[in-house]
Structure 1
Amino acid sequence: MTADHSSPPETSVPTCYRHPGRETYVRCTRCDRYICPECMRDAAVGHQCVECVAEGNRGARRGVPRTVLGARAATSTTPVVTYTLIGACVAMYLAELASARVVWDLMMLGRAVMPDGQVAGVAEGEWYRLFTTMFLHQRDGSFGITHILFNMWALWAIGPALEQVLGRWRFLVLYVLSGLGGSVLLYLVGAPNESAVGASGAIFGLFGAFFVIGRRIGAPVGPIVFLLVINLVITFSVKGISWEGHIGGLVVGAILAAAYAYAPEARRRLIHIGAPLVTLALLTVLVVVRTIDLNPSL
């Protein structure tokens, strides 16, 4: 037997795929390539290379930032809805100053004979008055310009905070339905020929919502309680103020805010959509019932 003096076979040492000069025996658990300590990233099992981690991050669903009440957080701090509502009210006020006809055609009115002899009002099929009245304000009389000034100040003061925590569409829905609630209560219990204008119903709805949401998130509510009490005293002590509009707006705003604020997280989306729809349906039924009572022939 002769000895084998041939050289042993050469064995290759694995190296990092990104750094060929670095020996390593660790593989990426995703692509199975060799990776050095610099290229290792901890994974649920083993390690992954930087490319696989980056690819996984691109494919992962990014979470949408939410407010404490579950609304989509706005990408801008500008209260777009609040400023739009203020702009709409100011524009309508300028239109009123240009022509008194704007008030007669759009104010809240159950059913009455107009100066031109025509019978008009919600009971005559003019249901839009329930909404348009919340963008009008008294242009003369005992209040004059102070009517719109106070309402717009209140909207500017508390609107942005509510819009931020509720999100834009929830805030807008709350504002409009609160104003509608004020109109509907006036329509139900007021005299058919009693008219009203103003955003006060919607503003009172914001007052109620601010209180409810403040209690829910632990914010100070003393200032809004003080403001609300003062306004309720004025409402019931000064002649010419529609208490129905204020109370109707306050009740609707507080109820919707409670639905927004206390909805269980698992059913939050359903309740946030369902509560306004149910409220709108209930107000619609009340309007239809009152309309039949005032004008059965309609």
Structure 2
Amino acid sequence: MKISNNWLKDYIKTELKPERIGEFLTDIGLEVEGIEKFESVKGSLEGIVVGKVLTCEKHPNADKLKKTTVEVGNGKVLNIVCGAPNVEAGQTVPVAVVGTKIYDKTGSFFEIKEAKIRGEVSQGMICAEDELGLSEDHGGIMVLDPEKYEVGKNFADYFELTNDEVFEIGLTPNRTDAMSHYGVARDLYAFLSTNQLKSTFEKVSSVVLNNEGTHDFQLEVEDAELCPRYIGAVIEDVKVADSPAWLKDRLKAIGLSPINNVVDITNYILHGYGQPLHAFDADKISGKKVKVGVNDAGTKFTTLD
């Protein structure tokens, strides 16, 4: 089970280092098998600066390459050979200077070095979004708004990047109470309090749902012994959209792939509080009824994937 240190801090406030927290978790029976570093953008955009393309002309020895000069602040101008079809003079762009590490999806990287490309010196790289780990877009270099981005500034200054430590916990079957960030935080707080180590615990506030509405959906549990409790709520006027960056980063840190705001919220509650959830599209439920029961062997059904 993966537990995010940043997420854990939503529930328990402590000044302890991740390594020390890992030791205490192991002491209370939540064995930490390892601690991994997580970066929302691999490399945290280190070495990427905002630049301005001063000149752009055809490469003398290659049809698909261009020679550019790029200002990167303090009057420093770099010669950069660029293969992007959309590069033009006057653009504000992200530039990887010599020494910068560019990571791919696997975590492997190559280091930007001064080199000759088809006989012309290149002292950096003008970057596309996918090369920076910001998206999958490789339609050309990333062109920035000159009103928002200042030449010479660190590109990372314009982003709220997430850096985290993730605990890999070997949870035993008898510790279902700790199968969430809240459960782990609760146990850790009890240990710290007992040992007079400074910390505070954020308790979950109770919420009252208003079950009065215009809908007429029903829940039917066929076997109360097999399923003693099943709760549903209708939420209206929901717009399915992309999740905010902070939510995506929380899920990615523990190895999940963000889907959309609705699915991501259900996963957030599951891993945050240990409460499984599933979201249905009300318009697609035939008969306006959710039935909970056991199907016969051989029953065919459509899976989520």
- TM-score in same-fold range (> 0.5): no
TM-score under structure 2 length normalisation: 0.22
User: Which protein is richer in helix relative to its size?
Assistant: 1
Mark the structure with the bigger radius of gyration.
1
TM-score under structure 1 length normalisation: 0.22
Higher relative contact order (CA 8 A, sep 6+): 2
